[in-house]
Chain A
């Protein structure tokens, strides 16, 4: 395995330089075992494209999204203000993140509190690298394979980004097989609005099971997504699938890494 090249913003600063982007890792990307693999996959892509990026490391803290959506605006704003203080002290201009919740909050909710940055979801940033000819994806091990895509609410409906991830699936020459409810009509995985952290209310079914059943009806055996929380929910929802029904839940970044064998 190749060593990942990771530097903190502080290290950049000590050298008197600054990176092109800040990679906002997020809580899931830092601590959740499954999401950590997504973090690493994205770093591999950044390394292979020779992008100079920094992370905040222990200076990073929760954006406050789950608190805000639970209704705790106090806690959210305290998180936001101290994060903004740090971001501004490092003079951060561009942020890339693999988490649509962090993405949404940084992009849409921080400006009102004095933090305005150019914010990208990693699938958007990878597309930008392709456009600027700084990175290339051609075919690879998924050529001709069927892949389906689950739209994360906070990337799709919340921010109208439906194309960036789909374009990357096309780039690896896979065949995109859409779920019945997709794009603006996509069904939530069940984790948003702080649901990730609590039992759901009484009902007939879990939301991720409802989505998993839809996935089962799709002929693709790989489900791509772009959110660590969706990833967890769908992995859980589909884990009972057996034999030919078995599916693999992958982040777009992981697909690219595997396709290119990075």
Chain B
């Protein structure tokens, strides 16, 4: 009988890890739905540096000092407090209690640090909640930010409040730990509130908090896949694979180069016979990197808050571009899960999710790209969809067609004669 808790714990742990891995596999499958071309991944050292600086070092977060600082606290707290998980898991599996407490002083230092961070995280998260729900900072609101995205953002904050509180309460009700008086910097202050409680009651309280805490963490782990909180994992690969060239460089389409070479009568390697499609209209046309971008997006809205089109009331919102992309990829993936392979659903990312009106409002100013704290590139999806509109659908605003005709016929976007190109000096 005495092993029952250990067995329950192990079963919980294993099943939630299994569920997590299943979701990771699905994530990988969905990312690989993207068959579009990406530039080769060169210069790995630079990429490692970017990842260390931008994801690990949070360098872009601090461009907005308040949010940046608070985020760093939560981020550090998350990493540091999770060290304690090692002990919790060992205790849970083997039925020990605070297995590392025997190391003495250092244990106290660590737990003390965890407790301090738990309080800091609590404060930061409450401020975050206030910014969203009381101050109502503009970038957290737009038409795409209702329903699940809004609930998701709040849920994460509630999760953290509950987990941090449970962590502190679990320490505060642990009589043995309080008696050790080693590292109970914060919980030692909560302990007196339980003064009148019998040892028996405290024991049950401690056990309840302990179990709720670890169950909460396992739920949170499996919540990630369905949440914008997935960025805590994906920010790392995303910053690694993010572009390392000048952001002004828009990728070269090799497929077009081949065609143009043929048209210009230059010798070219024989083309493979596969059907070439230009640009992006749905999930499989995206590149894996663009889908990774979409899954990484934290929905923070920094991009949208600096987008000149959005600022001036146009429909375009780079955050929405990323969110719609993720939604469509998810739907596409679920369709595959249901049917074994994708069954036509008469929807497209371009059209049903993202409208032409949004796409044509972009000035390619790169503000969204510059602003994103985890190297997401909404512009690349916008441009690939424009490519589809022009090269597959021949659907451009009339004025743009005129502009392109001019370039084609007289080498300038306006109807001037190329022969007159030196006349500026007259």
Contacts and interface: CB of A to CB of B under 8 A. Distances in A.
A, B: real partners: yes
B246 A108 contact: yes
Given A72-B391, A74-B256, A57 B422 contact: yes
A50 to B, nearest CB: 19
B309 A203 contact: yes
B366 A55 contact: no
A21 to B, nearest CB: 17
Contacts of A96: none
A262 interface: no
Given A66-B403, A184-B370, A188-B367, A108 B361 contact: no
Nearest to A199: B399
A31 B423 CA distance: 8
B357 interface: yes
Interface stretch (B184-192, B202-210, B311-319, B320-328): B311-319
Given A73-B391, A74-B259, A39 B424 contact: yes
Contacts of B33: none
B46 interface: no
Interface stretch (A132-140, A153-161, A240-248): A153-161
Interface in A1-22: 4, 6, 8
Given A70-B403, A157-B247, A191-B363, A77 B257 contact: yes
Nearest to A112: B252
Contact of B249 (A4, A109, A192): A109
B200 interface: no
B308 A30 contact: no
B422 A55 contact: yes
Contact of B407 (A31, A79, A187): A79
B349 to A, nearest CB: 15
A153 B365 contact: yes
Given A31-B416, A198-B397, A73 B278 contact: yes
B407 A210 contact: no
Contacts of B217: none
B253 interface: yes
Contact of A185 (B306, B309, B389, B414): B306
A130 interface: no
Interface string A157-186: 111100000000000000000000000110
A190 B308 contact: yes
A177 to B, nearest CB: 22
Given A153-B363, A160-B246, A192-B363, A31 B412 contact: yes
Contacts of A4: 425
Given A72-B390, A188-B363, A205 B422 contact: no
Interface in B47-80: none
Interface in B398-426: 399-400, 402-404, 407-408, 411-414, 416, 418-425
A57 B418 CA distance: 9
Interface in B347-398: 357, 360-367, 369-371, 383, 385-391, 396-397
A81 interface: yes
A198 B313 contact: no
Interface in B281-332: 306, 308-309, 311-316
Given A188-B367, A205-B312, A193 B362 contact: yes
B390 A69 contact: no
Contact of A198 (B263, B367, B400, B408): B400
A153 B370 CA distance: 11
B383 A203 contact: no
B362 A159 contact: no
B279 interface: yes
Contacts of A201: 309, 314-316, 357, 360-361
Nearest to A183: B370
B425 A40 contact: yes
A68 to B, nearest CB: 6
Contacts of B1: none
Contacts of B312: 200, 203-207, 209-210
Given A57-B421, A77-B257, A199-B399, A207 B366 contact: no
Interface in A68-118: 68-75, 77-79, 81, 104, 107-109, 112-113
B343 interface: no
A13 to B, nearest CB: 16
A237 to B, nearest CB: 12
Nearest to B416: A31
Interface residues of B, number: 67
A78 B402 CA distance: 17
Interface string B237-257: 000000001111110110011
A207 B309 contact: yes
Contacts of B413: 27, 62, 66, 196-197
B264 interface: yes
A116 B81 CA distance: 52
A14 to B, nearest CB: 16
Nearest to B316: A201
B424 A25 contact: yes
Contacts of B367: 153, 157, 185, 187-188
B260 interface: yes
B249 A108 contact: yes
Given A73-B278, A78-B264, A153-B365, A109 B252 contact: yes
Nearest to A207: B308
Contacts of B245: 108
A205 B311 CA distance: 9
A128 B364 CA distance: 29
A39, A74, A113, A204, most chain B CB atoms within 10 A: A74
Contacts of A192: 363-365
A36 interface: yes
A129 interface: no
A185 B312 CA distance: 16
A78 B260 contact: yes
A39 B369 CA distance: 31
Interface in A32-51: 32, 36, 39-40
8 contacts: A30-B421, A58-B418, A68-B250, A71-B383, A78-B264, A187-B308, A200-B361, A210-B308
The 6 closest A-B pairs by CB, nearest first: A158-B248, A204-B313, A71-B386, A193-B364, A61-B411, A188-B365
